[in-house]
Amino acid sequence: AQVIITACPLCQFNLDYPQRETEAGCTGSEIPVLYFTQLMAVALGLPEEDWGFDEHYVDPRSLLAAMTNDK
């Protein structure tokens, strides 16, 4: 999987935050975890500062940029 989308903000946190503790032994295995309304904000063209990605441990911006550049 390249990304995990959740319907629950607590689920998003519980999947994203522990990756900071497991990263030491698994470099390069980070998976961005998004709350579905964050993905909707991107799709609807809201300003980037409204996406809430600054709170994520694994920043999904590079994945989203790669997905939009594949066109």
For residue 45, what pLDDT is reported?
92
What is the rounded distance in angstroms from the CA atom of residue 56 to the CA atom of residue 71?
26
33 SS3 class: strand
pLDDT number for residue 67: 79
Instruction: Quote the pLDDT of residue 26.
Output: 62
Tokens describing residue 49: 């500062």
Alpha-carbon 68 to chain mean position:
15
Flag whether pLDDT at 58 surpasses 70. yes
Stated pTM of the model: 0.75
**Residue in this structure with the two tokens 């319907």, named with its chain if needed:** 7
